[in-house]
Amino acid sequence: MPTLTRLGQLADLNPQWLQFNRGIERETLRVDRDGWIAQTPHPAGLGSALTHDSITTDYSEALLEFITAVHASPEQALTELGQLHRYTYNHIPGEWLWPASMPSALPEEERIPIAQYGSSHIGRLKTVYRNGLWYRYGRVMQTIAGVHYNWSMPDAFWADWAARVGWNGDLQAFINQEYFSLIRGFRRHSWLLLYLFGASPAADSSFLQHDHFDLEKLSDDTVFQRYATTLRMSDMGYSNNAQDNLYVCFNNLRTYTETLTEAIHTPYPAYEKIGVKVGDEYRQLSTNMLQIENEYYSDLRPKRVTRTGEKPVHALNERGVEYIEVRCLDVDPFEPFGIDEERMHFVDLFLFWCLVQDNDMIPRDECFQLRENNQRVAANGRDPALTLSVKGEAVGLRDQGQRVLDSMAALAEELDGFNGHDRYSRAVQHQRAKIEDASLTPSARFLARIQDVGSFRQTALQLAEEHRERMMAVDNDAAVFETLTRAAADSQVEQRRMEEASSGDFDTFLAQYIRQ
């Protein structure tokens, strides 16, 4: 295990500077009473999916995404997330929010609705990009949902941390360097998050419309993989042949943006056959390996808030890394909001643990081996015999998991001492129990309930109803609802303004966007 060689530098750090900043993006499908993906348009009462800051859609018109602001505590983030859920339920009569990462019952592919964002240039670009995903990978894969965790350290921490390690240069350059060190540590150990929090061991049989994966059949409407932790993160989920050999280097900001930009500008023969614009129809944004940066399905991204019409890589190159986005967390089907406080405490600790250790550069061959480790854990993580490749050696997952948690426990004790509580130590201890007993993992618990009911679809519907009743039993905050109602109306006004302001033809706009 890497040693926490810089941990001692925390000894007299101001505890207020260890205030982690986090925000949550939770995805969830709208479904009808029978568990089929909703065919209704994005509800007008929720505002514009293009311009609303907190309620939008992802690939499908039915795939909602709730986005919280940045919060200094998990409790605050979950409070806002709960308000967004309850507000939404007041605007989707007869529909439920799907509680699982793998999608609900799906019709034939052409009837899975693609998200619409209006007639502005930016709105059309977002829809064309999704059309490209359809032509490239099909619509089914894009209905999978996850929880994205946005995380950063406060400015005061970075200034003090730079001084402690003897940095005398530009502070943003130091921040970039440290975030990419964190990312290297994360990529070496993200398999642990897949094991501990994966919660998608089964799927509705309608998900397998084209591909034939080696899954067991539980019932007419349910397939599963016996030891899977997260089918969402496996070859069955967010993956595709074009990206199997794609190399994006996360060693530093320069290598990351250069290799990602190269993929965006590298032609791909299969996509050239699709074409960009056929007649008056745009099928995709380009015929290159990636249309835009977001098409690269990584388990973590360095991020910078973009300006209107700005590409993410351009924002990173111009202004540096602002935060990181963890993308490998499944929706927890047992939690109304898909995530709970203890998971957030553990992820906070895990990310800070990655930050304060020394993380060597990742050579190209190790990069692909790390990807293979994640695939093994996603597909068979609960297999007692599963091994990982660690520095070229085969190591049992459970042995390696205990080593990581032993190291994290030392940091948890330090942080708890700073803050006068034991929440981080308790979070580590609870996850250690999952290493010792795989039946305690969310994937095992969810699969056990599915097997008892006999159907993934019916199990998820039961949980959806339980969550809805639990959420609606809480009295609505009139002031919060008034604020959200006003935000919905304002977002619609902003969408109309953007549509009126879109000048010139879309072809020119798209060419300029791609050239950034």
- The secondary structure of residue 268, as a DSSP letter, is -
- CATH node for 22-359+440-515: 3.30.590.20
Report the pLDDT value the prediction gives residue 235, as an integer from 0 to 100: 86
3-class secondary-structure state, position 499: helix
Residue-by-residue DSSP string for 366-382: HHHHHHHHHHHHHHHTT
3-class secondary-structure state, position 37: strand
Query: Which has the higher per-residue pLDDT, 8 or 116?
Result: 116
Does pLDDT of 3 surpass 50?
no
Nearest-angstrom CA–CA distance, 448 and 470: 23
For 199-226, the pLDDT digits (tens) are 999 999 999 986 667 899 999 999 999 9
- Name the residue ranges covered by the structural domains of the chain: 22-359+440-515
Does pLDDT of 316 surpass 60?
yes
Instruction: Summarize the confidence of residues 303-314 as an average pLDDT.
Output: 92
Instruction: State the amino acid at position 405 in one-letter form.
Output: L
Q: How confident is the model at residue 21 (pLDDT cuts 50, 70, 90)?
A: very high
Report the pLDDT value the prediction gives residue 38, as an integer from 0 to 100: 98
Does pLDDT of 242 surpass 50?
yes
Q: Judging by beta carbons within 10 Å of its beta carbon (0-12, 13-18, 19+), is residue 195 exposed, middle or buried?
A: buried
Handedness of CA 459, 465, 469, 472 (dihedral sign): positive
Instruction: Summarize the confidence of residues 482-502 as an average pLDDT.
Output: 98
Instruction: Summarize the confidence of residues 327-356 as an average pLDDT.
Output: 97
Average pLDDT, the chain: 94
Instruction: Summarize the confidence of residues 90-114 as an average pLDDT.
Output: 97
Which long-range contacts link 419-426 to residues 24+ away (Cβ below 8 Å)? Answer: 419/15, 419/18, 423/342, 423/345, 424/345, 424/346, 424/348, 424/349, 426/342
Query: Which has the higher per-residue pLDDT, 292 or 514?
Result: 292
Does pLDDT of 18 surpass 50?
yes
End-to-end CA distance of the chain: 41
Does pLDDT of 456 surpass 50?
yes
Report the pLDDT value the prediction gives residue 240, as an integer from 0 to 100: 58
Q: How confident is the model at residue 6 (pLDDT cuts 50, 70, 90)?
A: low
Q: How confident is the model at residue 271 (pLDDT cuts 50, 70, 90)?
A: very high
What percent of the chain has a predicted confidence (pLDDT) above 90? 87
Integer CA distances (angstroms), 79 to 45, 210, 337, 348, in order: 21, 40, 10, 18
Report the pLDDT value the prediction gives residue 186, as an integer from 0 to 100: 98
Instruction: Summarize the confidence of residues 273-296 as an average pLDDT.
Output: 95
Q: How confident is the model at residue 238 (pLDDT cuts 50, 70, 90)?
A: low
Report the pLDDT value the prediction gives residue 212, as an integer from 0 to 100: 60
* Lowest-confidence region among 211-215, 241-245, 274-278, 324-328: 241-245
For 137-168, the pLDDT digits (tens) are 999 999 999 999 999 999 999 998 898 888 99
Are 2 and 359 a contacting pair, CB within 8 Å? yes
Residues β-bridged to residue 259: none
Report the pLDDT value the prediction gives residue 10, as an integer from 0 to 100: 66
- DSSP E strands, 211-294: 216-219, 222-224, 277-278, 281-282
Report the pLDDT value the prediction gives residue 11, as an integer from 0 to 100: 63
Does pLDDT of 502 surpass 90?
yes
For 349-406, the pLDDT digits (tens) are 999 999 998 899 999 999 999 999 999 999 999 999 999 999 899 999 999 999 999 9
Report the pLDDT value the prediction gives residue 7, as an integer from 0 to 100: 56
Nearest CA to 215 among 374, 375, 380, 104?
A: 380
For 407-440, the pLDDT digits (tens) are 999 999 989 988 889 999 999 999 999 999 999 9
Report the pLDDT value the prediction gives residue 236, as an integer from 0 to 100: 85
Tabulate helix, strand, coil % of the chain (nearest 5).
50, 15, 35
Task: Supply the pTM of this predicted model.
Answer: 0.96
Report the pLDDT value the prediction gives residue 69, as an integer from 0 to 100: 98
Report the pLDDT value the prediction gives residue 508, as an integer from 0 to 100: 95
Report the pLDDT value the prediction gives residue 2, as an integer from 0 to 100: 39
Residue-by-residue DSSP string for 312-353: HHHHHHHH---EEEEEEEPP-TTSTTS--HHHHHHHHHHHHH
Instruction: Summarize the confidence of residues 459-465 as an average pLDDT.
Output: 98
* Half-sphere exposure in the Cβ direction for 448 (13 Å, CA): 9
Does pLDDT of 129 surpass 60?
yes
Does pLDDT of 343 surpass 70?
yes
Instruction: State the amino acid at position 510 in one-letter form.
Output: L
